[in-house]
Chain A
């Protein structure tokens, strides 16, 4: 082959390559065919671990789960404080005391409601187009919670259903002792393990749930996917064998959406479920299938009650396209390019986007909106009350030390420095929007008062922070499982604050695993921790200091190991009471006790900032993991126009580069040819 022919071939190959690149040249991540569809484009940061509603406890799962499965109850989309509305149930049931301490809840299901079409139904002789939901499906889901093979994390809660825990034990025994039992079909196993006394299926659409003790919070649990009915056919069919996926990787629910594609390491697609009861029966005007006509104060002004939507049947979206985005910065760039409809705000771009708590003029000019909402969560510093220096054993001295340390922490400064002020200082464990939160309450130990703090130390025999035993500053350890530079800086902020009192607090940063082990064993003095509500009830926050929930004694979430009989007595009276004046008084008493005892330094309730493009409508942040997408709406024409305007490729550098390469090679080739000839 001559060099000239070789050159020609290379040039041809390069031209083909350049043409291919030219064709590929677009930063639009979506196929053109989808341009006009009412699709929501959004990102997920972590692949869902499981889609099994009885198992999932992670926000990353609930993103998908809460929209494809439905629970018996839901929350009102707009009203705050949160209000329960009927979901699959026809109404929110009332507690009916049975005497002897037991309580019954009678659920009546909407009828007919259908499970989404799925091959699993045909596998057992049914119709692949799905089947009608029965009360026994709800009972089946609740029985699964007690099945150890399912490994549900919430059995402790649902063990209040009479006979549920015993059912689980019978199941284990039968599987171990009776040959062939474990190979039986799952519904057959559950039937053989016997009925659960507290789950009474009255007829195909009536289920009575009997609790062995009063527990009004159970209704909130019936608004979580843990109780979402699942068809036994799906559990039996999707066993992960012979090429079938595991049940944790599929979803056969009754919800407004169904899964169209589940590549959880890159892309998840939900599409409108044509068999959803809201679509089949708009005439029911079911509260969970109709856009609300009333909301919280301010909702009308914010456009949440737009007459174009209010009272209309849900859902508005045809499809939801989710892409995995592990790195926040590329995700945010794609949002700015218009390829995601909403986004959290990355720290690096915060000042570009938000000014003085409102959206910046540049972003507003692009039609974006900012939705702020305080989350039902609390972050705090916990003292280990079992520790001889900072805990209960140190008596009055320990109490005054904790009070002094609480008075040194300037949480507003912390929020400013580390969180772009995304949070509000916490005065007590209970966040806004939850019964018992008092906006006027100011905790006297949650303001900065160094003079008083020093006086308290003096009274504790620790004048100037000096430990009389050693003659040196009192040395304490602050444990963390965060070894990042960012993390260290945050902890250093607290350590510096305590240094002003003369205390010598040292940071012990270990791996997260080792840190958890220390907390589990109670081998720590000070930690920082957080809690996000499962349900909007003060009990879900105040139980974090209940002695029965102590981390060291019962493995519960009371990491401070706070154990105070007065607090426990108040908690016992408060926990199952309805939201009345007495409950409010009890909460105030508990708050006063915490104020003085200081097992925690309450830090802040985090605030979520979401940036929304102008074409995304009817979004109101919920804070809890609940089905939201059925309420949302998009304007694809506006999106298309904006995307076009924002993403014209800049081509000239490509031409310059190509020209440069040619210019470099030409003299060499010319010389070579001349020398040859």
Chain B
């Protein structure tokens, strides 16, 4: 297991380095430091101020290769900062990025944790229900509704939800966010509802298949023969045995809890890490963008490793090596 872990971590590190290199090349292929400076200090800024900004932010160094001092380049600095977790300040407004991340992660989690906490049990519950009533009208209706739900783009849910629930029915604010406990539930209700509806179709279909396969197995028949009730069979026998595919499906989602739901955050104006990413792209804010991308890559790889480890916990027969 230790050897396996080391191997996986090395592969992960190589991937992260590749991602950072790719991001650097891609970003500076399209944006020059002058553009970044102009975005940061304004269209009207004279050339002297632009040059000063570039010097103050270290973008006056050679990009990739410096014959006088090979370590004094933007690329080296880029790697040095990321690999030592020294994130520095935003290019757009000079705010420490670590602070932005803390604030943004809070808002992202405020949206994604309820989304995850409601969405997963609901999908599992509905899937258990339709698997239990399989080949009845409930199962068939479940198929129709789930397929219909997964065929619709999240953009449609967002726009229709905002129009119907926000504007016509006036149940919740149409968009926005405020961490004030008196009102935070109002703001989160609609995006969480939309997130749940958007995800539930595919999840129910998937879990139903998993459960249906399990309910046909011998151990289920044995359990029934021993006199276990329907609820007990589904929750104590079927659910734990179906955990492997559920884990595969869910654990890789955990990084996105922190990184936020890009579209939901953007459309609802939730100041999480998802909208931070979108803003960084729009503002030519390389310093922030690379941090979000870097953390995204790290978290994703960590989650994949965690998934594999979780297999051994869910199923003692699995060995990593």
Which A residues have a C-beta under 8 Å from some C-beta of B? Answer: 1-6, 10, 17, 20-21, 23-33, 47-50, 55, 57-58, 148-149, 151-153, 155-156, 240, 245-246, 248-249, 263, 265-267, 323-327, 330, 333-334, 337, 339, 511-513, 516-517, 520, 534, 554-557, 647-650, 653-654, 664-665, 667-668, 671-672, 676
Contact = CB atoms under 8 A, between A and B. Distances in A.
By DSSP majority rule, is chain B's interface helix, strand, loop, or mixed? Answer: helix
Given A27-B171, A668-B136, 13 more contacts: A1-B235, A6-B235, A25-B171, A27-B173, A47-B279, A148-B52, A153-B42, A240-B96, A248-B93, A266-B269, A327-B267, A337-B170, A513-B35
Contact of A28 (B166, B173, B275): B173
B232 to A, nearest CB: 6
User: Which 4 pairs across A and B sit closest by C-beta, in order of nearness?
Assistant: A555-B47, A265-B271, A57-B42, A153-B45
B310 interface: no
B186 to A, nearest CB: 5
A467 B298 CA distance: 60
B56 A668 contact: no
A327 B171 contact: no
B169 A649 contact: yes
19 contacts: A6-B235, A24-B185, A24-B188, A25-B171, A27-B166, A31-B183, A57-B42, A153-B44, A153-B46, A245-B95, A249-B93, A330-B162, A334-B173, A334-B176, A513-B30, A513-B32, A534-B44, A650-B168, A668-B137
Interface string B22-55: 0000000011101100101110111111001101
A330 B31 contact: no
B250 interface: no
Interface of B: 30-32, 34-35, 38, 40-42, 44-49, 52-53, 55-56, 89, 92-96, 103-104, 107, 118, 125, 133, 136-138, 141, 162, 166-180, 182-183, 185-189, 229-232, 235, 266-267, 269-271, 275-276, 279, 284
Residue from B31, B48, B284 with most neighbouring chain A CB atoms (10 Å): B48
Given A10-B125, A649-B171, A650-B169, A555 B42 contact: no
Nearest to A512: B35
A26 B271 contact: no
Given A27-B173, A333-B167, A156 B46 contact: yes
A663 to B, nearest CB: 12
Nearest to B47: A555
A240 B93 CA distance: 12
B42 A246 contact: no
A249 B99 CA distance: 12
Contacts of B52: 148, 151
Residue from A266, A534, A654 with most neighbouring chain B CB atoms (10 Å): A266
Contact of A31 (B95, B104, B180): B180
A396 B296 CA distance: 60
Given A28-B186, A32-B182, A555-B46, A647 B103 contact: no
A559 to B, nearest CB: 11
Contact of B56 (A151, A667, A671, A676): A151
A27 B174 contact: yes
A153 B93 contact: no
Contacts of B186: 24-29
Contacts of A676: 230
Given A57-B41, A153-B44, A27 B170 contact: yes
A21 B271 contact: no
Contacts of B178: 29, 266-267, 323
B176 to A, nearest CB: 5
Contacts of B141: 664
A323 B176 contact: yes
A361 to B, nearest CB: 22
Contacts of B137: 667-668
A441 B145 CA distance: 67
B94 to A, nearest CB: 6
Contacts of B172: 24-27
Nearest to A334: B174
B45 A648 contact: no
A512 B282 CA distance: 11
A49 B92 contact: yes
A377 to B, nearest CB: 13
B94 A246 contact: yes
Contacts of B173: 27-29, 334, 339
Contacts of B180: 31
Contacts of A31: 180, 182-183
Contacts of A33: 182
A246 B31 CA distance: 26
A334 B173 CA distance: 8
A3 B95 contact: no
Contacts of B276: 265
Nearest to A157: B46
Given A30-B183, A57-B42, A650 B49 contact: no
A48 B266 CA distance: 18
Contacts of A325: 175-176, 269
Nearest to A23: B185
Nearest to B270: A266
B41 A55 contact: yes
B229 A3 contact: yes
Contact of B231 (A3, A30, A263): A3
A155 B169 contact: no
A58 B45 CA distance: 10
A29 B176 contact: yes
Contacts of B183: 28-31
